[in-house]
Amino acid sequence: MAQLEILVYPDERLRQISQPVIEVDDEIRSFISDLEETLSSLPGCVGIAAPQVGRLERIIIIDVSSRQHHKNHGHRVLINPLITFKEGDVVGREGCLSVPDYTGKVSRSKNIAVTAQNELGTHVKYEMVGYEARALQHEIDHLDGKLFIDSLVGKRNDLKKRTDF
């Protein structure tokens, strides 16, 4: 296992579209172990996407269980995630490992359904709400080369320096 380096804005690799994983094999699982170690080394972080460490494949990990009072599925690896249903809009403040000094308000769907494969290659489906749904949408955006700073809510730029609050 190894901790991987997090790419930081404006690194161009964060703007690439990641490719689907064709086969979930031992090499992919080894990479996922490294990604998990990287995420767990970063206190307070609730998700990470493979392109954030420079691997342009559609793999994410989310785990919002450290945030109390948010319904969630615990630690989940999602390979080739696809949102199949969404409803409602809710605005919330987000941050990102790859935009380390800022947070900003983004509108996300409140309820979603997602299909994916897990680290064994098994097809899975989850319904997610609220904070977990937000975290997932944020990570899927990374797979499409998007960052939260692209979709800030409001007429004026709502970025806040982390030290401001």
Smallest distance, Å, CB 120 to Ni ion? 25
Reference 93, options 30, 40, 165; nearest CA is 165
Applying CB under 5 A, what is the total number of residues that bind Ni ion?
A: 1
Q: Please, what is the minimum distance in Å from the beta carbon of residue 33 to Ni ion? A: 20
Contact segment (CB under 5 A) with Ni ion among 16-24, 79-87, 88-96, 105-113 equals 88-96
96 binds Ni ion (CB under 5 A): yes
Cβ-closest position to Ni ion: 96
Is 135 one of the binding residues for Ni ion (CB under 5 A)? no
Rg (CA), the chain: 15
Q: Is residue 64 a contact residue for Ni ion (CB under 5 A)?
A: no
> Which listed range, 1-9, 11-19, 82-90, 92-100, lies at the site for Ni ion (CB under 5 A)?
92-100
- The residues annotated with a catalytic role in the active site are 139
**Binding residues vs Ni ion (CB under 5 A):** 96
